Structure 1
Amino acid sequence: MNAGIESPAPIVSVKPIVLPAPERGDDLRVRVSAPVTGHALPVLVFSHGFGSSSDGYGPLADFWAAHGFVVIQPTHLDSRTLRLAPDDPRTPLIWRSRVADMTRVLDRLEQLETSVPGLAGRVDRDRIAVAGHSFGGQTAGNLLGARVRDPDGGGGVDLSDPRVAAGVLLATAGHGGADLSPFAAEHFPFMHPNFAAMATPALVVAGDHDDSPLTVRGPDWLTDAYHASPGSKSLLTVFGAEHSLGGIPGYEAAETTDESPERVELIQRVTLAYLRRALGIDDVDWKQVCSALLESDSPLGRIESK
């Protein structure tokens, strides 16, 4: 699928950049990747899946950086690299801590920019997007306006950030309540999202073979963020993809149960084209990737928009 996206540029990646966070219990470690050339580079803050870290998701982070984005990857408290004990008092509110990590990154963009050699003065801080996979999709969704309700259906704090203009939600959990499996209902009290206020433009990516043990509904559960949210949204359904969507956490990662370089390439190109369109950079690539899928004799996925 070579939908007109330009050749990749060399990138530079710096880690760990440490942001002091005394109230967090552990300082926030961040990885920043960016192309070595170019100016007015848009920002993409990426939230990893449960247990991963800023060292993961190279197939996406490196691709986005090589095609003109400053990609910022915080390591959340649930990362296996931090070995947080299950009985740690911070554990029940990990989901809130994750959103706070993303906000802290946005608050410290200048510090992060100057921490990467040659990047200072090349960042467009008015073009900011967020993305996330799995648990990270919920985290990114919170910054787009999605809320987390109490298990009884009440509450839901607005954690959206007006600095964020668009998002990409990859394999993101759907509605809670009766849609949850008994295991999820018992262990994940934060898994009750409300997408009714998630009005910020977003691309939702879901695998049609992502049969999550967290729900009793099946793969369509992962499309709720698209169907239940208002405003401009697009949905990429990846045919044959499971939760790792072909290998976006990394081809050799244990989470990759359905390794497929072709599916990963599709997601790379569609997400890049969407972000460029949503941030007002260029919509030519988006039109081309949509047309390429429609015209393919053996499409790897389907795009729909509203």
Structure 2
Amino acid sequence: MPVPTTTRPATVISARPVVLPSPPHRGEDLQVRVSAPATGGDLPVVVFSHGFGWSMDGYAPLTDHWAAHGFVVVQSTHLDSRTLGLSANDPRTPRIWRTRVEDLTRVLDELPALEAAVPGLRGRVDHSRIAVAGHSWGAQTASTLLGARVLDADGTPGEDMSDSRVAAGVLLALTGLGDSLTPFAAEHLPFMRPHFDTMTTPALIVAGGNDQSHLSTRGPDWFTDPYTHSPGDKTLLTLHGAEHSLGGIPGREAAETTDENPARVALLQQLTTAYLTHTLRNDPAPWKTAAAALNQSPDPLGTLQSK
């Protein structure tokens, strides 16, 4: 049962594409969508990273909801987007996972320019309160700014790409440890060896109870590894029966949505918004209310646990 909400959504303004010139090795300028409520000030920022193949135009069920409830939401189009059409043989392909992280860092660097690009937004953004969020590959991208690393071939944690400007994260369907990859994934996706021991920034981690990845030999519990193996101040939401699209967060009519469930998406809207309000606005009341409503539901759509 969805968690009740009393917050009335605001009118949202949005600008796209906002183009940020990129370094030569990227080969494409970075295209960004910026969305925000039409009124209000001291607005926190959520930087969102899409899943494989998507773009700045995806994930409206979540990103529009966050913007309507008081957040500036910035969405990049990464190089793997189907809108750019890079081939598997493109020389940039092996380092796309790093380029994705660089995209998010560039957004943080260019927040003043992005703010100025949206009519009526200038002077209304709080640059000191920032969260990162992402789904699937985008969740791994976002997790690196929270302190997660990628293991080298010899098992040594790679470069620290964390960012002290980021105060919290929302990680949706983030893949687990790389010790159970299928042979295909191990050969073709070497970056899928995350190391969570250094992911110290607070985060809400969301896993689907029926999310069976074709990249892992394990079951849905693989997606709980980021919670299990990261240091404290983490919360895990396990959605009962949810598959990788978590009910339809990329878009309710998207081909990737194999488990369309509006109630599940509504629950995610409410819980993620409450979590962002708690961590970025230092207001725990909505989160406590939302968590209590879920825990007390006679037929809950998921379970919460924290450490």
Q: 2:143 is matched with which residue?
A: 141
* TM-score calculated relative to the size of structure 2: 0.98
What CA distance in whole angstroms lies between the structure 1 residues aligned with 2:274 and 2:227? 18
Q: Using the TM superposition, name which of 133-142 and 146-155 deviates more.
A: 146-155
Residue by residue over 1:139-186, the C-alpha shift from the partner in whole angstroms, topping out at 9 and shown as x without a partner, is 000000000112331241100000000000000010002x11122112
Q: 2:188 is matched with which residue?
A: 187
Q: 2:111 is matched with which residue?
A: 109
Describe how 1:49-68 pairs up with structure 2 within 5 A.
49-68=51-70
What CA distance in whole angstroms lies between the structure 1 residues aligned with 2:156 and 2:16? 40
Q: Secondary structure at 2:134's aligned position in 1? A: strand
What CA distance in whole angstroms lies between the structure 1 residues aligned with 2:229 and 2:136? 17
Describe how 1:34-53 pairs up with structure 2 within 5 A.
34-53=36-55
Residue by residue over 1:29-72, the C-alpha shift from the partner in whole angstroms, topping out at 9 and shown as x without a partner, is 00000000111000000000000000100000100000000000
By how many angstroms is 1:3 displaced? Answer: 3.3
Q: Percent identity over the alignment?
A: 64
What CA distance in whole angstroms lies between the structure 2 residues aligned with 1:253 and 1:160? 32
* TM-score calculated relative to the size of structure 1: 0.98
* Contact map agreement 2:182 2:215 (CA 8 A) in 1: yes
Q: Secondary structure at 2:129's aligned position in 1? A: strand
* Contact map agreement 1:175 1:221 (CA 8 A) in 2: yes
Q: 1:15 is matched with which residue?
A: 16
Q: Secondary structure at 1:279's aligned position in 2? A: helix
Task: Kindly provide the amino acid, as one letter, of the partner of residue 3 in structure 1.
Answer: P
Residue by residue over 1:259-291, the C-alpha shift from the partner in whole angstroms, topping out at 9 and shown as x without a partner, is 000000111111111111112431111001111
Q: 1:165 is matched with which residue?
A: 167
Aligned length: 305
* Contact map agreement 1:169 1:205 (CA 8 A) in 2: yes
Q: 2:85 is matched with which residue?
A: 83
Describe how 1:270-285 pairs up with structure 2 within 5 A.
270-285=271-286
Task: Kindly provide the amino acid, as one letter, of the partner of residue 10 in structure 2.
Answer: A
Q: 2:133 is matched with which residue?
A: 131
Runs of 4+ in 1 over 4 A off after TM superposition: none
CA 1:280–1:68 in 2, change beyond 3 Å: closer, same or farther? closer
* Contact map agreement 1:44 1:69 (CA 8 A) in 2: yes
Q: Using the TM superposition, name which of 20-29 and 138-147 deviates more.
A: 20-29
1:121 aligns with 2:123: yes
Q: Secondary structure at 2:205's aligned position in 1? A: strand
Gaps of 5+ in 2: none
Task: Kindly provide the amino acid, as one letter, of the partner of residue 46 in structure 1.
Answer: F
Gaps of 5+ in 1: none
What CA distance in whole angstroms lies between the structure 2 residues aligned with 1:76 and 1:275? 24
* Contact map agreement 2:3 2:294 (CA 8 A) in 1: no
What CA distance in whole angstroms lies between the structure 2 residues aligned with 1:21 and 1:103? 12
Task: Kindly provide the amino acid, as one letter, of the partner of residue 75 in structure 1.
Answer: T
By how many angstroms is 1:2 displaced? Answer: 4.1
Q: 1:31 is matched with which residue?
A: 33
* Contact map agreement 2:208 2:244 (CA 8 A) in 1: yes
* Contact map agreement 1:5 1:285 (CA 8 A) in 2: no
Residue by residue over 1:101-129, the C-alpha shift from the partner in whole angstroms, topping out at 9 and shown as x without a partner, is 00000000000000000000000000000
Q: Using the TM superposition, name which of 179-188 and 202-211 deviates more.
A: 179-188
Over aligned residues, Cα RMSD in angstroms?
0.9
Q: 2:71 is matched with which residue?
A: 69
What CA distance in whole angstroms lies between the structure 2 residues aligned with 1:22 and 1:172? 28
1:292 aligns with 2:293: yes
Q: Secondary structure at 2:166's aligned position in 1? A: coil
Task: Kindly provide the amino acid, as one letter, of the partner of residue 73 in structure 2.
Answer: V
Describe how 1:178-257 pairs up with structure 2 within 5 A.
179-257=180-258
